[in-house]
Structure 1
């Protein structure tokens, strides 16, 4: 598997409150993107804590996960992280109200399980066809789902950034989780809204059609988001599946 993680502060923000990474163990690759929020420095605390906690739990695994077990692990881990973030904010007043989005993908040759909470997104790209695998946990997307506004109207809605769910809240996080079976060359793209708000699925597809390495594709995507304003932090993690009988670079 080929994999890459990149994060850019963008052109406007003084801090990068995004976090994430690519983490491997003996059987799979875990990709993470978290977009923090909640006052001065609290956002980057929330996103970094989330990634650090999940990475630690990932490396503690001592047995291979099958598809159903991977979904269970994601659900349990995200709930544990949600509780730890909330308790940390309760004990540290400067972090009161902090939270973070999260999109996570466990990637193997047999299955890919994607979990999300908030509006960071997970896309699957097969033969340049881009499919959004996650649903934004946002006020505006709820209006789209209910038929009150169109997807086009949602792009410019004044409450576009209002989230209905995030990590770091009291109670259950209740992430959404999906599992798919990859083909050779399937590409998983996880990103914060600093990318998805600026770069269209058509532009992502066009870059996927080019003979680019993941590193080159990631650089182009970040450059596009900055060219279109770069008002937010821009973060992505990408993994390309190469089945064993097809060859490919191993991670």
Structure 2
């Protein structure tokens, strides 16, 4: 598995409330997580980092000898437990009341990937034929689009496009969307916060990801496009290629 990632504070925010994690080998899986925090008094960056740390620790025992269903259950439980712990932490500290974070987490083997998510951070599957959004945003504008009140185009610049309807840490329990997909050599998974997806058109993302360049260059260009479009939010990108070329990076961001 070849993986590259980048997180950037953007041009407007005072703090980067996004957190990312990449691990190339967790029991044979590649593990990647993006969390986009929210809340005043630097609570957002704390919430996203807590989510990353807790989910990573909970998923330490996973391995490719388990079934897909067991992997799905492990990811669901890890996110649910992180939600519970963040909620309890915030409930006991007045300055952190209301803090929360989105999360999209992927455990990928050479044959399949399992994805768990809450909020509006996204996962896409990309290959030479298509770019498919795998996750459904838990957001106000997505609800408005589904109900026909606004169009998809209007959603991209709606003044409340950053409002999420589901997040880790804001309620004692949470519903986690978990899915699995088969993928093969040449396929790529893109994980990102809405600092990318709300500012850069899908066709531009698709062209950059398919460009004849290394993964590091692709993530740099994706972040650069979001910055050029205004950079009004933190931007985080993880790109995972299902191939056997040399791994680009093997650290946490």
Shorter chain as denominator, the TM-score bin is over 0.9
CA distance in 2, matches of 1:197, 1:139: 13
TM-score by length of 2: 0.93
- Looking at structure 2, the residues matched to 10 and 123 of structure 1 have their Cα atoms a distance apart, in angstroms, of 22
* Contact 2:123/2:190 (<8 A) preserved: yes
After superposition, the Cα gap between the structure-2 partners of 1:97 and 1:182, relative to the gap in structure 1 and judged at 3 Å, is: same
Pair 1:128–1:221, CA change in 2 (3 A): farther
**Structure 1 residue runs of 4+, over 6 Å off?**
none
Deviation string, structure 1 residues 130-184 (Cα, Å, up to 9, x no partner): 1111111011101211222211121122221221100002232111111110021
> Partners of 1:178 and 1:128 in 2: how far apart?
21
Q: CA RMSD in A?
A: 1.5
| Gap runs ≥5 in structure 2 | none
The 3-state SS of whatever aligns with 1:171 is coil
Question: SS of the counterpart of 2:19?
Answer: strand
Q: Counterpart in 2 of 1:11?
A: 11
* Superposed displacement of residue 62, structure 1: 6.2
Does the 8 A contact of 1:128 with 1:206 survive in 2? no
Query: Where does residue 188 of structure 1 map in the other structure?
Result: 189
Match of 1:101 in 2: 102
CA distance in 2, matches of 1:240, 1:108: 11
2: CA distance between counterparts of 1:10 and 1:170?
29
Q: Which residue of 1 aligns with 2:56?
A: 55
Q: Is the 8 A contact 2:29 2:64 kept in 1?
A: no
Written as runs of structure 1 = structure 2, the 5 A alignment for 1:164-243 is 164-242=165-243
Q: Is the 8 A contact 1:35 1:101 kept in 2?
A: yes
Contact 1:31 1:238 (8 Å CA) reproduced:
no
Q: SS in structure 2 opposite 1:59?
A: coil
Report the Cα distance in structure 1 between the residues aligned to 2:87 and 2:116, rounded to whole angstroms: 20
Range that drifts further, 42-51 or 2-11:
2-11
- Name structure 1 gaps, 5 residues minimum: none
What pairs up with 1:42-121 in 2 under 5 angstroms?
Answer: 42-61=43-62, 64-121=65-122
What is the TM-score of this pair, normalised by structure 1? Answer: 0.94
**Is the contact between residue 156 and residue 199 of structure 2 (CA under 8 Å) also seen in structure 1?**
no
Residue 150 of structure 1 corresponds to 151
Q: Deviations over 1:48-94 (max 9, x none)?
A: 00001111122244673321111111111111000000000012222
Relative to 1, partners in 2 of residues 1:10 and 1:128: Cα closer, same or farther, differing over 3 Å?
Answer: farther
Please state if 1:20 is matched with 2:14.
no
